[in-house]
Structure 1
Amino acid sequence: MLWLKAFHIIFMVTWFAGLFYLPRLFVYHTEVTDEAGHQRFVTMERKLFAIMSIGMLGTLVCGVLMLMNNTAYMQMGWVHAKLGLALLLIGYHHWLIAPMKRFRTKTNTKSGRYYRLINEVPAFFLVTMVILAVVKPF
């Protein structure tokens, strides 16, 4: 079970690194004016999204396996809250596809400031989910 927990954390760190960095790439992408720079950011965003998707899938698989190995967790309120936040985070992860597509097709209308604000969303999830998993307040 400890190996599973270790890999859950490793995948989670990978996922969150991408969730923090992709919107930051969007900030920088808004400032690019040349075609070579545009293509570079499109490539970086696509590759980062692939890596963070692997992190997401690994996190989910390990999390589900941990729940299957200890069904008592499903009786605990903090697990329900964490699962709810995980579902919202998965939604946010997939929502990031839309700005990637807008940048790729050169139809982005959002500012760097907008993406700086979006960049803060994963911080809420990270702090809340770690507190739930460690403190287990419910």
Structure 2
Amino acid sequence: MPRSKLKPQKSDEAPWYADGLRFECTQCGKCCSGEPGYVFIDDAETAAMARELQMTVDEFEQKFTRRVGRQSSLVEYPDGDCIFLEPKTRHCMVYKSRPIQCRTWPFWDSTLETAADWKETCEVCPGAGTGRLYSFDEIEVRRKEKSV
């Protein structure tokens, strides 16, 4: 997954996306596949996904998570796809309880740093740049939920 390189903005400078950005999730699964990375999850997210899959938290953790330092991350298939990206339909198997990191896509620090970063996001995500216009405030709420 992309890593953030966000540089602090001067307080009097409006971000390049101040007029808002368009996004409409197509549930294509492209944001859940590709290069290996991490989807860090907390205890509440783990419990919610376990509930959705009708598993105990212990069963869920043993089957679907790995330790990365002090944090837990979802495991991946060998090709880098998320373990919950259903291979045939390319849909998320835990969409209703997906982690914050997934719910806030594509409004991540790493996709919003520059207009060029957003353009790259639009090239790989068919929903980025189309659909509903999110206001600057809506984008900021999502961006600040989790630093990615």
Q: Normalised by the shorter chain, which TM-score bucket?
A: under 0.3
* Structure with the higher fraction of residues in helix conformation: 1
**TM-score normalized by the length of structure 2:** 0.24
Q: Which has the larger radius of gyration?
A: 1
**TM-score normalized by the length of structure 1:** 0.25
